[in-house]
Structure 1
Amino acid sequence: MSDQFSASEHLVGYLYQIRYALFILLKKIRDESGIELSIEQLDDVAFERQGEPIELLQLKHHISKKAALTDSSPDLWKTIRVWSTQIAENPNRFNEVILTLITTSKAPELTIPSWLKRDEHRDETKALNNLISIANKSNSKTNKPAYDAFLSLSDQQKIMLVSRIYVIDGSPNIRDVESKIAQEIHLLSRFPGSLKSRLEGWWFKIVIDHLMSDEYNTIKGVELQRKIYDLQDELGKENLPNDFPEILEMDEEELSENERIFVHQLRLILLGKTRLRIAVGDYYRAFQQRTKWLSEGLIYPGELERYESYLVGEWRRQFEIMKEDMGDTLPNQDRMAELGKNLFRWFETNNFTPIRPSYIDSYLSRGSYHLLANRLRVGWHPEFLERLGHLIAQAANQVS
């Protein structure tokens, strides 16, 4: 159980770094859009300006609320070791760099961490003297590499190191940081929850690409600003977010029986296998997207009903034209399938009807037609109702 807890703590710690980095960058770009950020390169998190580090951050997250940051805390000394090593290797680079230790633990009064906070009790001299004393006298095997790294610095380097360190204790945990992010963006959209969830989803993808890169790179604050602007546009009155942008092909077996009526419709007009798989993908994407919009309150049922009524109206116009072209004599089966395929082709390629003026992805209208076809409100074959009407009754019986 202890190993499992330790693994969980480490995993949460990594996720904490990613989420906290977003929180800090959101705050910093309010004043400086040119700021850049890196994760797990110069430090846990680092901020740069024009290629030079301006702040290095060590983040310590603890699941237990009882954790304390004391004079002998491994969290403190691991951090000291990291920064001491960096100063020893490149002393000139860190003369003006702020070194910030962010921890969910609390620093008790009259301790080294408490003297390094950014408040009226800050006392760099006391902190330095106690660091030297502990490093010389302590028998801690865990902290010994950190003691050695710190003591190897020159007196001037020790003074410089301590002068650059700032401890932020009692920081919000990984759940509370999510709330802090929400507070940062709550005035940016009518739907701050939707903006936050999409922004975090984008952020995690960006960080993964950042961490997987073989070359040194940074995440630019301007990228975050542009993404926020894009999401603001998507969540505006004239638009909606597209959460399923990837073209999808699916087998009909991935749908329930009640969801395959539109597939029977397409089989009546002898649609090919590949186009059938694409149609199933459009159906699924449209269903998922509409459900997500409704669950987030981004769209109302009445708006979807009006949209569907418009689609049905457009279909009816073209369906009646097809019936007139057939004439009074019912054509043979192959001809009816051909007419139905031509009708479907028209809707598939020409009838892009956006649900809102600025929403540009056409799969929603195609998928919505499949949803309507699944309820037999629209159809492609001239005799679709006569041939498939019994499926609606079967589906109703299965539900009841």
Structure 2
Amino acid sequence: MTEDISPFAATASAMGYLYQLRIALLRCTDLLEGGASWTVALEAGDDIECVQDGKTGLWQLKHRAEGTRITDGTSDLWKSLRVWAVAATAGAIDLDTADLFLLTTAEAAPSSAAVHLSSAPDDRRDPAEAHRLLKEARKAARARQQKKIEANPDTTAKPSELYQAWDTLGEPEQLRLLERVQILHSAEDIHATGTRLQGRAAIAVGRQYATSFLERLEGWFFQRAIAQMGTSAGPVTGIEFDEAFSSRRDQFRPDSLPIDDDVIKLPDESRIHSDKTFVRQLGLAGIGSARVRIAVRDWLRASTQRDRWSNENLLRPGEIDIYERRLTEEWEVRFEAMRDDLGEQAAEEAMAVAAKALYRWVEQEARYSIRPGCEEPFVTTGSFHMLAEGLDVGWHPQYAARLMTLLEPAGSRS
């Protein structure tokens, strides 16, 4: 690995990793079109390893700046050949069943080995000619090394590791390897790959929701890839990917809304929000600390998810207002029935018991979906707490009067 740690090198390295993830995700969508009997792994046998129907596809990826060319002496080409030659020598790959891909954004120089190893219609695939050109390039590299030795006779010059594995293979094995190689040059860069994924997303959920859907699919895939590269999980399977793709696609149906994994995993912040009005409402009703913590969790989830829906334009005009009106009206029927049952002269203990019963309805029974396919309970319970924050609903029979007094600025009570 290079010792260059400048910001420019770091940026290029990060771009390369992101490119690898996006290409892997694109490969998954490609493979899914043919069924679900496949696996995709990153940094396993190669940058990307795809296994389908008993055949293995090993992918080397090179994301290079615009204008970069791949010639017979380019290190990108020889590094890929070294990886494959080492694997072939060790028996890690079977050249009868493995397809070897070098996908690079660089342009192949005319009449180069890369052109003769390409399967593009305009190129002239000829592995034997590519082998001849590579032998010439290797000969030129030896000549350059010999000149260095002659110029510095006291220096011990070691053979370049770039060529050692290739040199170890006999010529028949070199040609056999090249027959399995396909160089996909002038490939789309990371931005164009993103555009292609956007197009796949638009087919799945429509152009209006394509960006939101793709963000969620990429988020899942990137986390899944990290787990796989960290050896805590196996390769992504076709069945697994199909399920992840389909479940996220279904969240964008007209009768549903997406529930995001990171929202469900929000940390406990009950202490931070202890001064919220809805928390004080729970205190008036005599709700215990454990249930208050759950209430804060649901409020945080619902407010975060609803903000995200709004920011991504996933909600219909007036949809939240209609939903909150429904919640308020459902609460109002029960709240007024509670007040009637208590009467005007109810004792404090009776009011506390009634408040707890009303809040228990919110916790355990109130399940009003904002859309039929979006049934996550925290959307309902958290939305009730959002309404309680504005004193639009409450649990204690006298919540409004008591909290208005409690929240009134000290200077205005004269």
Q: Give the structure-1-normalised TM-score.
A: 0.90
Identify the residue that residue 230 of structure 2 maps to in structure 1: 212
Q: 2:390 aligns with which of 366, 375, 381?
A: 375
Would you say the 8 A contact 2:87–2:93 is kept in 1? no
1:197 aligns with 2:199: no
Aligned equivalents of 1:287 and 1:143: distance in 2?
A: 63
Larger deviation: 126-135 or 239-248?
A: 239-248
- Residue 154 (structure 1) aligns with: 170
8 Å Cα contact 1:57-1:99 kept in structure 2:
yes
From 335, 340, 345, the equivalent of 1:319 is 335
Q: Would you say the 8 A contact 1:69–1:107 is kept in 2?
A: yes
Query: Residue 274 in 1 paired to residue 290 in 2?
Result: yes
Deviations 1:205-247 (CA, angstroms, capped at 9, x unpaired): 21122112268x3221222222222122211122221112347
Deviation at 1:336, TM superposition (A): 2.4
Are 2:217 and 2:244, in contact at CA under 8 Å, matched by a contact in 1? yes
**Number of the residue aligned with 2:33:** 30
Superposition CA RMSD, Å: 2.4
* CA–CA distance in structure 2, aligned partners of residues 214 and 137 of structure 1: 45
Q: Partner letter of residue 100 of structure 1?
A: F
Cα offset, 1:81, TM superposition: 0.2
1:293 aligns with 2:309: yes
271-280 vs 310-319, which deviates more? 271-280
Q: Is the 8 A contact 1:265 1:381 kept in 2?
A: yes
CA distance in 1, matches of 2:158, 2:374: 58
For 1:107 and 1:210, the matched residues in 2 are separated by 33
1:251 has 2:270 as partner: yes
2:153 aligns to what? Answer: none
Q: Is the 8 A contact 1:132 1:151 kept in 2?
A: no
Deviation at 1:7, TM superposition (A): 2.7
Could you tell me how far apart the structure 2 residues matched to 1:14 and 1:254 are? 39
Maintained 8 Å contact 1:262/1:373 = yes
Counterpart of 2:149 in structure 1 is: none
Give the alignment of 1:29-68 within 5 angstroms: 29-50=32-53, 52-62=54-64, 64-68=65-69
Figure out how many residues of one structure are paired with residues of the other and give that number. Answer: 388
Q: Residue 204 of structure 2 aligns with which residue? A: 188
Structure 2 partner of 1:231: 248
1:134 shift after superposition: 1.8
**SS in structure 1 of the partner of residue 315 of structure 2:** coil
What is the DSSP-based 3-state SS (H/G/I as helix, E as strand, rest coil) of the residue aligned with 1:262? helix
Paired residues of 1:185 and 1:196 also in contact (CA < 8 A): yes
Measured in 2, the distance between the counterparts of 1:201 and 1:275 equals: 31
Please state if 1:222 is matched with 2:248.
no
SS in 2 for 1:253: coil
Q: Structure 2 length normalisation: TM-score?
A: 0.87
Task: Provide the residue aligned with 1:100 in structure 2.
Answer: 101
| Post-superposition CA distance 1:240-268 (Å, at most 9, x none) | 2111234753224258x7xx121221121
Give matches, 1:302-313, under 5 Å: 302-313=318-329
CA distance in 2, matches of 1:82, 1:310: 63
Give distance in 2, aligned partners of 1:357 and 1:91.
51
Structure 2: gaps spanning 5 or more residues: 146-156
SS of equivalent residue, structure 2 residue 107: coil
- Report sequence identity in percent: 29
Q: Which residue of 1 aligns with 2:111?
A: 110
CA distance in 2, matches of 1:152, 1:248: 55
Identify the range of structure 1 (369-378 vs 87-96) with the bigger mean alpha-carbon deviation: 87-96
Contact 1:135 1:148 survives alignment (8 Å): no
Q: In 2, Cα distance between the equivalents of 1:122 and 1:316? A: 76
Q: How big is the shift at 1:312?
A: 0.5
SS at match of 1:121: coil
Secondary structure of 1:179's aligned partner: helix
CA shift, 1:359, in A, is: 1.9
Contact 1:252 1:280 in 2 (8 A): no
Give the secondary-structure state (helix, strand or coil) at the position aligned to 2:69: coil
Aligned pairs (5 A) from 1:82-101: 82-90=83-91, 93-101=94-102
Pairing partner for 1:359 from 374, 384, 392:
374
Structure 2: how far apart are the matches of 1:392 and 1:71? 77
- Of 370-379 and 246-255, more deviation after overlay is shown by 246-255
Work out the CA distance in 1 between the residues paired with 2:11 and 2:218: 21
Determine whether 1:130 maps to 2:133: yes
How far apart are 1:347 and its partner, in Å? 1.4
Separation (CA, whole Å) in 1 of partners of 2:408 and 2:124? 77
Q: Matches of 2:11 and 2:5 in 1, distance apart? A: 10
Give SS of 1:59's match.
strand
